[in-house]
Amino acid sequence: MVAREVLLRSSEVAALAAIFHFSGTKPSYLGIQKNPPSLALCPATNNCISTSEEISDANHYAPPWNYNPEDGRRKKPINKDEAIAELLQVVTSLKPDNFTPRVAERREDYIRVEYESPIMGVFVAPPR
């Protein structure tokens, strides 16, 4: 009896997950802005981080990644292509809270990654 209830409840959860597979479109302002060249600032929601935010904004700021730090952590400097390959390997292998990473956009100087919830699907912030 217990196994049957668990099975029924798990199918209910799966049905809800399928129904509420949220998605949206990428806001048009994301990416590198032209004047001045920098990343766009985040919307007021908590599902965005940017190196362009104020360092005091704990909800949105992320420090820039330096692939050849001056502190000597890397024994041999690497070039930009090697750094991007390393970054992609790290980003696509990490699954915070079981969210699945997906490279949604990749350019020479920009990578946008979306994370898919195991239950609710991909959440993309609506344009403002």
Give helix then strand counts, H and E, for the chain: 2, 5
Tens of pLDDT along 86-97?
A: 989 988 898 888
What is the per-residue pLDDT for 24?
Answer: 59
Tens of pLDDT along 42-53?
A: 888 777 888 889
Tens of pLDDT along 7-30?
A: 333 334 443 444 444 455 666 777
Model's pTM, two decimal places? 0.62
Q: CA-CA distances (angstroms) from residue 27 to 3, 40, 62, 116? A: 44, 11, 20, 17
Q: For residue 61, is it left (φ>0), alpha (ψ between -120 and 50) or beta?
A: beta
